[in-house]
Amino acid sequence: MENDDRVPERALPPMPMPEPTTPADATARTAYGAADRAAIYRAIRERRDMRHFAGGQVAPEVLSRLLAAAHHAPSVGFMQPWRFIRVADAALRRRLQAAVEAERQRTADALGQRRDAFMRLKVEGLCDAAELLAVALADGREAHVFGRRTLPQMDLASVACAIQNLWLAARAEGLGMGWVSMFDPDAVGKLLGLPAGAQAVALISLGPVQGFYEEPMLQRERWARRAPLASVVFEGTWGAPAPWLQADPAEEDAPSQEEGAGHG
């Protein structure tokens, strides 16, 4: 188990707060400028789960910035359960790719009539990308009860927030990123030397790409389509329409309800 990193209890000075004002004025004072807001929404809209990479390199200062962005993610109880392992060794990359391929075959067999369509999809770029990062849940998570007593899976939700931070920062840097979760976590954990209690949850391909997909790859390949915004936002109770909700400008008609095989 990791060392206890909790901060010792001590008297803290009160947090300084600005002078009270109206909610509208407070929002205007703290909001980003129009160009900054547009850049954030653009990164969200143009982020893609990439599978095609152009080789090359990621400079150490850029990789450090990206991992710092990931580390600034929110986490339940401020537990920070993410651990990142950079995989530079080509032989280890190939072993990890083999672990993904083994699960790809098992997934295909479980898909029944969609097996052939699934096997035509490119599901990873582990040996093509400039960088490969493995992401794991840290050991010792049972010590963190704050926010997890009834929802222990919030440790995984916290790691997902870190990965999303990394993804958006990578898009802003002009780098592609792909999240692969198609593997046996025990097998990958052994390859990476994870301690007991830790669990591998993602293999992240990261690096230059020739271009970003205009739409999610699985949508382009007709595997699935993005659901309408109104089908996932409710008012008051499950399924109740939200009359105030405005349509997503990027939304496309006739979404499929078929299951997806990736992260969009």
DSSP for residue 223: S
β-pair partners for 86: 133
Tokens matching residue 16? 């300084």
The pLDDT of residue 19 is 78
Q: Would 170 be classed as within a structural domain? A: yes
Taking only the tens place, the pLDDT of each residue in 100-143 is 999 999 999 999 999 999 999 999 999 999 999 999 999 999 99
- Are 224 and 264 contacting, i.e. CB atoms less than 8 angstroms apart? no
Q: Would 253 be classed as within a structural domain? A: no
d(CA 223, CA 112): 14
Q: How confident is the model at residue 4 (pLDDT cuts 50, 70, 90)?
A: low
Decide if pLDDT at 261 tops 80. no
d(CA 83, CA 96): 17
Instruction: Write the single-letter amino acid at 152.
Output: P
Decide if pLDDT at 235 tops 50. yes
Q: Would 152 be classed as within a structural domain? A: yes
**How many CB atoms are closer than 10 A to CB 252?**
11
Q: Tell me the CATH number at 93.
A: 3.40.109.10
Q: Would 34 be classed as within a structural domain? A: no
Count: domains in the chain: 1
The pLDDT of residue 6 is 59
* pTM, rounded to two decimals: 0.89
Distances (CA, A) of 196 to 138, 190, 221, 231: 9, 10, 39, 41
d(CA 93, CA 87): 7
Segment 230-259 mean pLDDT = 81
Q: Would 79 be classed as within a structural domain? A: yes
- Residue 173 sits in which domain range? 48-241
Decide if pLDDT at 221 tops 70. yes
Q: Would 82 be classed as within a structural domain? A: yes
